[in-house]
Structure 1
């Protein structure tokens, strides 16, 4: 979930309308093993699958296709259908560039606003609901490739994975659109509203929704925690590998790349949209709506930006957290130990010498660089590039998460973790080079929570740790507290900055400030 032209990547989007099949009588949401369950939604009936103790419904539209005149507009209600819709397959992901996380040949389309639902078999109702927002830097991503079977079984949860518009299709702004932008976030909001209206029919409790996401999905989640429009749509939040304080100093994402933040004033994003229109010889958005998607896609990397000063996000999310005005919901948050290691490798593929490491610190931190280098001497690491990855992992990721957790803990229970299993596979499947190992890369905990197409099988030891993670996450989604019998105690995060570290051979508490030099950064 990385890295193009100095910006973060993400993953998102879903599936077009499928053909309605012949009408079928309503069926109980439970259904028997192997029987095709049928559920009536507000838009029409859907037929899913039942196997291995799970019911699955895929490719359900939560909004109308955002195509034609609906491109760059807030999502509209899904069009009703007659008969029973086939909900056995996920549809195409939202238009996006190719990425290593997507299986080869995955269809892509602008007609993509769908969600997948996985629920336990059986007639139980009022199960807790977890709504998953995938990552990918606001440029790529797909909820449909995340198989939540382990979470569903461990917690008796109903899990909803969401597809939403990304890149130029999801985050363009333009003066013609007024202060409207963040169409990808608006899609997530529409999905939450769909869940509130429909999830009880799938056995879920609309009053017990946890909003969760990783990377840009985490940044989306914390952004919606600050949005007045999202209040009351979720009761708990999980924020993995990203926070509303995450940002990068000059050089962190490559030579010559300036400081980067995912949140920008609406005027800045409008300026980028206006420049795109001029590049394509358009006078405004009406013309841009007629441009074929494949002609817009090459410009998508210009729009990894969430706009604030809009109706959805009136203020910069970091400022809302600082003021203590975000949604007062229980929060589980954390990072991998070496979030930035793959970003550093991508930014500096030739590595760094000790002198170049010092120069990179001067670029990033100016007069404070000697103080940073004293805390992070290159000789303490396998290589200078490993040292650079460690600096930016702490400064850009882990300590901002800690600070946002400290702020949030003033009003709500907060639990913080660091995932530190260096044996965990990377999201791309490519092993890290020896110059930076041992390290635990961005997104590497995802394979411990979800199954992925063509994903590597976990070892016996990794499966044991995965079982612990799944247990904590499922208990949090059920109760707002990850603790439970037989599991190491996970203390609340607050002034003492005590986090839980998930290592290859132990789960233990750690002082986040001491372990990651957060006093240097905040």
Structure 2
């Protein structure tokens, strides 16, 4: 389903004369399940194909809503940002959009073999372990049975991802970006300063020994270096482990490349090919509470914290006067980018291309300004992280905490 509307004053673009198109696409197993025999074309990118169908609809129909088919901006946050990267890497999507916005979403994907293995695990969980009959068995299941089987197919770190090695995604999106095989359009890309912190909440009440064991298991020979830079915070009880773990997970980008140093490298790779690449870091560390939290826990500028500033109707609480200034500034920046392919405005701090090694630091009040990339690198300790090898995290934090024996209180 596709919905196009002129925006209201409650949305981020209500004062920017922009038509917003929102879409529905298949999610979870319905959108990304890969099983032999499920489709003659193979793959598992049904959600991605839905998005491309919506973009084609937009090209055909947006003029009837007052829009310009020659100035279509593709925008997404979190998993939506991952979809933006996948669509930029997808040959069939070329020519369907003219700018792109990636907020807190990297470029992860699965190979066909990995996706098929996940699909078989899902089928087994649904009681359809016979490979030859798995597809017909799944089609006979009730929706609630499919949802129950998908509990392990939709977590933070084991959820569905685009599948590469198929016609709509011949190479992995990350490889496409590094090699320049992506739709080369102006790009606004950014992250939040404390991107992953709130996902460390399951480690509230973790002991020093439990924290150090988890770090050791994840980073192996580099664990001592990690712990030296992110020590257990005895003064931050009961979040003595959650705060340093959230910081090191952010800085190391182990959640699908979101946040921190790998996300900066992703912006570097885009900017090497596209001069109109604009990088930002959202830095309001006291936003309205967004998502689950616990008493006394400061989530900071966490994942999705920037959304109420662009879409005030989404705010879980009122913005302060200084935050409203930031909100208005962000709306103007985003609106200018959608209109012109550049966030340049005459009423606020200039936002240079990331080609100049400068990014926009988005802060409350009138404090937003362009800063050197070196400041970002120092804040996230990129000199350390860029010098070691490590893998992305593949187990959801809740299960990690359970395995470590952290008590839930």
Say whether the fold is shared (TM-score over 0.5): yes
The CA distance in 1 between the partners of 2:378 and 2:234, in whole Å, is 16
SS in 2 for 1:415: strand
TM-score by length of 1: 0.65
The answer to whether the 8 A contact 1:345-1:351 is kept is: no
Correspondence 1:403 to 2:258: no
Please show how residues 355-366 of structure 1 align to structure 2 within 5 Å: 355-366=209-220
1:515 to 360, 366, 379: 379
Name the residue aligned to 1:280. 127
Correspondence 1:421 to 2:280: no
Name the residue aligned to 1:373. 227
The answer to whether the 8 A contact 2:293-2:299 is kept is: no
The CA distance in 2 between the partners of 1:148 and 1:395, in whole Å, is 38
Name the residue aligned to 1:117. 4
1:451-495 Cα deviation digits (max 9, x unpaired): 446842323222211101111111111111111112112122147
Name the residue aligned to 2:78. 215
The answer to whether the 8 A contact 1:334-1:418 is kept is: yes
Name the residue aligned to 1:465. 326
Correspondence 1:389 to 2:251: no
Distance 1:159-1:228 versus aligned 2 partners, 3 A rule: same
The CA distance in 1 between the partners of 2:9 and 2:294, in whole Å, is 26
SS in 2 for 1:394: helix
Please show how residues 417-496 of structure 1 align to structure 2 within 5 Å: 417-428=280-291, 430=292, 433-434=295-296, 436-437=297-298, 439-452=300-313, 455-494=316-355, 496=357
1:149-206 Cα deviation digits (max 9, x unpaired): 4333232111111111111111111011352211111111111111001000000001
The CA distance in 1 between the partners of 2:308 and 2:3, in whole Å, is 18
Q: CA deviation at 1:433?
A: 4.1
SS in 1 for 2:182: coil
Please show how residues 80-229 of structure 1 align to structure 2 within 5 Å: 114-119=1-6, 149-176=10-37, 177=39, 179-229=42-92
The CA distance in 2 between the partners of 1:462 and 1:241, in whole Å, is 20
Q: CA deviation at 1:333?
A: 0.9
The CA distance in 1 between the partners of 2:123 and 2:216, in whole Å, is 37
Distance 1:360-1:336 versus aligned 2 partners, 3 A rule: same
Name the residue aligned to 2:113. 267
Correspondence 1:351 to 2:199: no
The answer to whether the 8 A contact 1:423-1:504 is kept is: no
SS in 2 for 1:334: strand
Q: Which runs of 5+ in 2 are unaligned?
A: 154-158, 254-258, 387-409
1:338 to 194, 198, 210: 194
Please show how residues 235-246 of structure 1 align to structure 2 within 5 Å: 235-244=98-107
Number of residue pairs matched by the alignment: 361
2:182 to 301, 318, 326: 326
Compute the RMSD of aligned alpha carbons. Answer: 2.3
1:200-236 Cα deviation digits (max 9, x unpaired): 0000001101101000000010111111111111111
The CA distance in 2 between the partners of 1:234 and 1:405, in whole Å, is 19
Name the residue aligned to 1:503. 363
The CA distance in 2 between the partners of 1:475 and 1:184, in whole Å, is 29
1:365-399 Cα deviation digits (max 9, x unpaired): 11112222333334598433201101111111222
TM-score by length of 2: 0.82
SS in 1 for 2:201: helix
Name the residue aligned to 1:107. none
Q: Which runs of 5+ in 1 are unaligned?
A: 1-113, 121-146, 245-261
SS in 1 for 2:42: coil
Distance 1:373-1:485 versus aligned 2 partners, 3 A rule: same
1:305 to 143, 153, 160: 160
Distance 1:296-1:456 versus aligned 2 partners, 3 A rule: same
SS in 1 for 2:69: strand
Name the residue aligned to 1:40. none
The answer to whether the 8 A contact 1:420-1:502 is kept is: yes
SS in 1 for 2:282: strand
